[in-house]
Amino acid sequence: MTSELLGRTLVEEATKKSGLIWAGSPGAPARALWHVWYEGAACVVGDGPGEQPLPSLTDGANVEVTVRSKDKGGRLVTWTARVVELASGSEAWEAAVAELKGKRLNAPDGEAMVERWGRECRVVRLEPVGSTVPLPDGDLAAAPLPTPATTRRPVPAAVPRLLFKRRGRRG
Protein backbone atom coordinates (compact mmCIF):
# COMPACT_ATOMS: atom_id res chain seq x y z
CA MET A 1 0.00 0.00 0.00
CA THR A 2 2.76 2.42 0.95
CA SER A 3 4.81 1.75 -2.20
CA GLU A 4 1.71 2.27 -4.36
CA LEU A 5 1.00 5.58 -2.62
CA LEU A 6 4.62 6.66 -3.08
CA GLY A 7 4.44 5.66 -6.75
CA ARG A 8 1.31 7.75 -7.31
CA THR A 9 2.89 10.70 -5.51
CA LEU A 10 6.02 10.41 -7.66
CA VAL A 11 3.92 10.26 -10.83
CA GLU A 12 1.89 13.32 -9.84
CA GLU A 13 4.80 15.49 -8.68
CA ALA A 14 7.08 14.60 -11.59
CA THR A 15 4.35 15.11 -14.18
CA LYS A 16 3.22 18.42 -12.65
CA LYS A 17 6.73 19.84 -12.79
CA SER A 18 7.68 18.58 -16.23
CA GLY A 19 6.47 20.57 -19.22
CA LEU A 20 6.89 17.62 -21.56
CA ILE A 21 5.96 13.94 -21.42
CA TRP A 22 6.41 11.07 -23.85
CA ALA A 23 3.38 8.88 -24.46
CA GLY A 24 2.93 5.87 -26.70
CA SER A 25 1.57 2.37 -26.96
CA PRO A 26 3.90 -0.40 -25.78
CA GLY A 27 6.02 -1.45 -28.74
CA ALA A 28 5.31 1.76 -30.66
CA PRO A 29 7.49 4.87 -30.63
CA ALA A 30 6.53 7.41 -27.98
CA ARG A 31 5.67 10.98 -28.95
CA ALA A 32 6.63 14.09 -26.99
CA LEU A 33 3.55 16.00 -25.77
CA TRP A 34 3.01 19.21 -23.83
CA HIS A 35 0.41 18.74 -21.14
CA VAL A 36 -1.21 20.05 -17.97
CA TRP A 37 -1.68 18.01 -14.79
CA TYR A 38 -5.28 18.51 -13.70
CA GLU A 39 -7.35 16.57 -11.14
CA GLY A 40 -5.17 13.48 -11.06
CA ALA A 41 -4.39 13.11 -14.77
CA ALA A 42 -2.27 14.58 -17.54
CA CYS A 43 -4.49 16.47 -19.99
CA VAL A 44 -3.39 16.99 -23.60
CA VAL A 45 -4.95 18.60 -26.65
CA GLY A 46 -4.17 17.73 -30.24
CA ASP A 47 -5.08 16.13 -33.57
CA GLY A 48 -6.18 19.44 -35.06
CA PRO A 49 -4.60 22.01 -37.35
CA GLY A 50 -1.64 23.64 -35.64
CA GLU A 51 -1.77 21.27 -32.66
CA GLN A 52 0.29 18.25 -31.64
CA PRO A 53 -0.59 14.87 -33.17
CA LEU A 54 -2.01 12.20 -30.86
CA PRO A 55 -1.64 9.04 -32.98
CA SER A 56 -1.62 6.31 -30.34
CA LEU A 57 -3.99 7.95 -27.84
CA THR A 58 -7.29 6.22 -28.59
CA ASP A 59 -10.14 6.27 -26.08
CA GLY A 60 -9.94 3.35 -23.63
CA ALA A 61 -6.42 2.30 -24.63
CA ASN A 62 -3.53 1.95 -22.22
CA VAL A 63 -0.32 3.85 -22.99
CA GLU A 64 3.05 4.21 -21.32
CA VAL A 65 3.93 7.74 -20.20
CA THR A 66 7.53 8.71 -19.50
CA VAL A 67 8.30 11.86 -17.55
CA ARG A 68 11.62 13.67 -17.79
CA SER A 69 13.41 15.87 -15.30
CA LYS A 70 12.90 19.53 -16.16
CA ASP A 71 16.41 20.56 -15.14
CA LYS A 72 18.55 17.58 -16.26
CA GLY A 73 16.30 16.14 -18.98
CA GLY A 74 16.74 12.55 -17.77
CA ARG A 75 14.00 9.98 -17.29
CA LEU A 76 12.33 10.24 -13.87
CA VAL A 77 9.44 7.82 -13.98
CA THR A 78 7.41 5.75 -16.43
CA TRP A 79 3.78 4.97 -15.68
CA THR A 80 0.83 3.32 -17.38
CA ALA A 81 -2.14 5.49 -18.24
CA ARG A 82 -5.66 4.85 -19.44
CA VAL A 83 -6.71 7.21 -22.24
CA VAL A 84 -10.05 8.97 -21.70
CA GLU A 85 -11.25 11.24 -24.49
CA LEU A 86 -13.38 14.10 -23.20
CA ALA A 87 -16.57 14.99 -25.08
CA SER A 88 -16.44 18.49 -26.53
CA GLY A 89 -18.51 20.92 -24.48
CA SER A 90 -18.91 18.62 -21.47
CA GLU A 91 -18.22 19.90 -17.97
CA ALA A 92 -14.98 17.85 -17.75
CA TRP A 93 -13.90 19.16 -21.18
CA GLU A 94 -14.53 22.78 -20.15
CA ALA A 95 -12.52 22.36 -16.94
CA ALA A 96 -9.58 20.70 -18.74
CA VAL A 97 -9.58 23.31 -21.52
CA ALA A 98 -9.56 26.12 -18.97
CA GLU A 99 -6.27 24.70 -17.63
CA LEU A 100 -4.81 23.91 -21.05
CA LYS A 101 -5.42 27.32 -22.60
CA GLY A 102 -3.21 28.99 -19.99
CA LYS A 103 -0.28 26.76 -20.99
CA ARG A 104 -0.71 26.94 -24.78
CA LEU A 105 2.07 29.08 -26.17
CA ASN A 106 1.93 31.00 -29.46
CA ALA A 107 -1.60 30.01 -30.44
CA PRO A 108 -2.28 31.37 -33.94
CA ASP A 109 -5.85 32.39 -33.11
CA GLY A 110 -5.46 33.69 -29.53
CA GLU A 111 -8.65 33.47 -27.48
CA ALA A 112 -10.55 31.81 -30.34
CA MET A 113 -8.49 28.65 -29.83
CA VAL A 114 -11.02 27.24 -27.35
CA GLU A 115 -13.75 27.27 -30.01
CA ARG A 116 -11.31 25.74 -32.52
CA TRP A 117 -10.39 23.01 -30.04
CA GLY A 118 -14.09 22.23 -29.61
CA ARG A 119 -14.63 21.94 -33.39
CA GLU A 120 -11.41 20.42 -34.69
CA CYS A 121 -9.31 18.92 -31.87
CA ARG A 122 -9.40 16.20 -29.25
CA VAL A 123 -8.86 16.76 -25.53
CA VAL A 124 -7.59 13.65 -23.78
CA ARG A 125 -6.93 12.71 -20.15
CA LEU A 126 -4.13 10.27 -19.35
CA GLU A 127 -5.23 8.74 -16.05
CA PRO A 128 -2.64 6.72 -14.08
CA VAL A 129 -3.51 3.05 -13.57
CA GLY A 130 -1.54 0.51 -11.58
CA SER A 131 1.96 1.17 -10.36
CA THR A 132 5.00 2.71 -12.00
CA VAL A 133 6.98 0.81 -14.62
CA PRO A 134 10.55 -0.09 -13.55
CA LEU A 135 13.25 2.02 -15.18
CA PRO A 136 15.42 0.12 -17.68
CA ASP A 137 18.96 -0.86 -16.73
CA GLY A 138 20.62 -0.34 -20.10
CA ASP A 139 21.10 2.55 -22.47
CA LEU A 140 18.03 3.23 -24.62
CA ALA A 141 19.78 5.58 -27.04
CA ALA A 142 19.35 4.48 -30.64
CA ALA A 143 22.17 4.83 -33.13
CA PRO A 144 21.47 7.51 -35.74
CA LEU A 145 20.46 6.28 -39.17
CA PRO A 146 23.21 6.51 -41.79
CA THR A 147 22.80 9.41 -44.19
CA PRO A 148 25.07 11.09 -46.74
CA ALA A 149 24.13 14.48 -45.27
CA THR A 150 26.29 13.82 -42.20
CA THR A 151 29.28 12.32 -43.99
CA ARG A 152 32.27 14.61 -44.32
CA ARG A 153 34.35 14.05 -47.40
CA PRO A 154 38.03 15.05 -47.79
CA VAL A 155 38.72 18.59 -48.98
CA PRO A 156 39.87 18.64 -52.62
CA ALA A 157 43.61 19.24 -52.94
CA ALA A 158 43.21 22.48 -54.93
CA VAL A 159 41.04 24.26 -52.35
CA PRO A 160 43.83 25.35 -49.95
CA ARG A 161 45.87 26.76 -52.84
CA LEU A 162 42.86 28.70 -54.11
CA LEU A 163 41.91 30.04 -50.70
CA PHE A 164 45.36 30.93 -49.42
CA LYS A 165 47.36 31.89 -52.54
CA ARG A 166 49.25 35.10 -52.25
CA ARG A 167 48.11 38.01 -54.25
CA GLY A 168 50.67 40.04 -56.08
CA ARG A 169 51.59 43.29 -54.41
CA ARG A 170 50.75 46.42 -56.23
CA GLY A 171 53.08 49.23 -55.79
What pLDDT is attached to residue 145? 65
3-30 pLDDT, tens digit each: 778 888 889 999 999 889 999 887 777 8
The pLDDT assigned to 132 comes to 86
CA distance linking residue 123 with residue 86, whole number of Å: 6
CATH topology of domain 2-134: Pnp Oxidase; Chain A (2.30.110)
- State pLDDT tens for residues 113-132: 889 999 999 999 999 998 78
pLDDT tens-digit profile of 68-86?
A: 888 887 888 999 999 999 9
In degrees and rounded to multiples of 5, residue 11 shows phi and psi of -60, -50
The structural domains of the chain, with segments of one domain joined by +, span 2-134
CA angle 83, 77, 130 (to 5 degrees): 50
> CA-CA distance, 10 to 167, in Å (whole number)?
69
The answer on pLDDT for 166 being more than 70 is: no
**pLDDT computed for residue 168 by the predictor:** 58
- Collapse the DSSP code of 101 into the 3-class scheme (helix H, G, I; strand E, B; otherwise coil) and give the result: helix
